[in-house]
Structure 1
Amino acid sequence: MNALGNRNILRTRDAYTGEVKAPEIEDLLRATLVKVADQFLGWNVAAISAAQPKRPIVDIFAAEVRDFSKYKLAKAYVRWTREHDAQELTDDERSQWTTLVNKINSALR
């Protein structure tokens, strides 16, 4: 049985377990991206992210960081992955990504 929604479209929310109503893919890595952004880019939004768990993380970055770009954030994350592995993600992040990958694999069968 295919676990995808209408018209077999896989949505981020199909794997997301947090409080954001319309999560984007970045919300699957919310806690890690907050740390990575601070460490690599000097974008400290930790307090705002913690205070506003229902708000998409990209919206927080866009409002709080001058010249924010998803590209810069993604590039910083890729740099982070060179020295870190999945075990350093939070339990929720690992679970969400496992769910997403499993749903993708199921759809491809």
Structure 2
Amino acid sequence: MLMENFLRSKEYRVVVENGVYAAADSVTLTETQKKTCEEQKLKDLNAKNYLFQALDRSILETIINKDTSKSIWDSMKQKYQGTTQVKRAHLQALRKEYKMLHMKEGESVNEYIA
């Protein structure tokens, strides 16, 4: 969430979400289209740089070969979305265990704590 806000503030969020416009044939592009394409490529490089700076070294090694900021972002979303779901399931199990936790009749405090 923090990185999303940062990328949005730098106006790189669109490039990260949608990817860079791939020019099939640079000969048929107008000057305006060429300029737009170059601007998107620059934004993509800047976004990649920010993503690389924000990531841990161990994670960085897994995404260093990605070509675009979109591919890095998609890879990170997939990795951390699974982690988030696992954490939620674990927290749900702990909440259930906590709700069921109570002292039984005749149980000493030491037994309960143990």
TM bucket normalised to smaller: under 0.3
- Bigger proportion of residues as helix: 2
If asked which structure has higher relative contact order (CA below 8 Å, sep 6+), I would say 1
